[in-house]
Chains A and B, each alone.
Chain A
């Protein structure tokens, strides 16, 4: 078997026939030609260099071409599915607004002041809602965008890309924005600079504090910090999980009310779970793997549910096509 055959076979699965013809095949042909030429020289290092240069060229071509190709495809998909995308954006925006409003309702109600400073305080609380509102908005956007249509492979890939993007935004918000916004909020309320609490600590400092507390046998407090630390990562991953969940609900093809009910129920359960988790004061949680498992449990369960919904849909489709 010639060098690069496996690479070519793999590339043919992700690239179009035109890309294979104009980009991949010439690169592989060069690789094979150089490798064959090096074989004639008989020196091992010569063969290795030829292979390395060929493989490097192959990956460079892919790295340059594939993002451009995917972007073009996304633009074409967006143009072809304008109405569905508009519906998805509208549903996502409404869901995000509702979730944000419901999360901010209690602090807004408790605020004694009703001036511009109160408004600024609410703005400082906004980043906290992003890790919840973004995933839930994504799932509802996916459900409404897909209403009455089959999720093709291209659409599924787009949804997963959106989920990954959402997770990145969530993670960035949790790591950089939320601690600073929380600290600014507390400083304004206190009227002077105060020490950072667990919710205001940067990620590394939070874990360091948890480890320090555990080493001093303050297991309850350490457990809370470990929960807080892992919850930030789990919430960052929620955007991807809920985007796939949106695909799962859409695949069930239930009525509009049933779909909203399923989505809303899952959202309430998810938010409540994390709210309850924040209240836990158990020394056993200083066991880090246990904290990790507790915070990731909802994501795992939702992913399994989504996969089950999607596989049920696939089974139904294959049963219909076989009859």
Chain B
């Protein structure tokens, strides 16, 4: 596969995947809270939408919508591809860290 076809993983996407792999299934707002202000609620869904297009995460609507008739929230989980990408990037980062530290 030529390098141009390898999908990238931005720092925000890395963080989201990392959080999702740790926690399993999260709402967008829970991701924002878990990220300790590194993710913003105004941009999280744009990033999540892009990650869904890349196949890193998948989503589903929550089972029981709010009693007041509000919209059901969307839950995000990492795909197996997303998990593999995260582990490859983590390993690559660990391998390269001493190189960049020189």
Contacts and interface: CB of A to CB of B under 8 A. Distances in A.
Contact of B46 (A23, A25, A28, A56): A23
B52 A22 contact: yes
Given A22-B52, A53-B41, A64 B46 contact: yes
B83 interface: no
- With most chain B CB atoms within 10 A of its CB, the pick from A2, A28, A32 is A32
Nearest to B49: A22
Contacts of B73: 26, 29-30, 33
A61 B42 contact: yes
A192 interface: no
Contacts of B74: 25-26, 29
B11 interface: no
B68 A61 contact: no
A154 B48 CA distance: 28
B46 A61 contact: yes
| Interface of B (DSSP majority class) | loop
Contact of A26 (B28, B66, B69): B28
Interface in A4-42: 8, 22-23, 25-30, 32-34, 36
Given A2-B68, A22-B52, A25-B74, A64 B28 contact: no
A46 to B, nearest CB: 16
Chain A interface residue number, banded: 20 to 34
Most buried by A among B28, B40, B71, B72: B71
A23 B49 contact: yes
Contacts of A109: none
B25 to A, nearest CB: 14
Given A36-B66, A57-B41, A30 B46 contact: no
Interface residues of B, number: 20
A29 B45 contact: no
A306 B28 CA distance: 47
B46 A36 contact: no
A29 B72 contact: yes
B29 A30 contact: yes
B27 A64 contact: no
Interface string B49-82: 1001000000000000010111111100000000
Contact of B70 (A23, A36, A61): A36
Interface in B21-49: 27-29, 40-43, 45-46, 48-49
A32 B68 contact: yes
Interface SS, A side: helix
Interface in A54-110: 56-57, 59-61, 64-65
Contact of A29 (B40, B43, B48, B70): B70
Contacts of B66: 32-33, 36
Contacts of B70: 2, 29, 32-33, 36
A26 B49 CA distance: 11
Contacts of A59: 42
A23 B68 contact: no
Contacts of B48: 22, 26
Interface of A: 2, 8, 22-23, 25-30, 32-34, 36, 53, 56-57, 59-61, 64-65
Given A26-B28, A32-B66, 20 more contacts: A2-B69, A22-B45, A23-B46, A25-B71, A25-B74, A27-B45, A28-B71, A29-B70, A29-B71, A29-B73, A30-B27, A30-B28, A33-B66, A56-B42, A57-B41, A60-B42, A61-B42, A61-B43, A61-B46, A64-B46
28 contacts: A2-B70, A2-B71, A23-B45, A23-B49, A25-B71, A25-B74, A26-B45, A26-B74, A27-B45, A29-B72, A29-B74, A30-B27, A30-B28, A30-B29, A32-B70, A33-B66, A33-B73, A36-B68, A53-B41, A56-B42, A60-B43, A61-B42, A61-B43, A61-B45, A61-B46, A64-B42, A64-B43, A65-B46
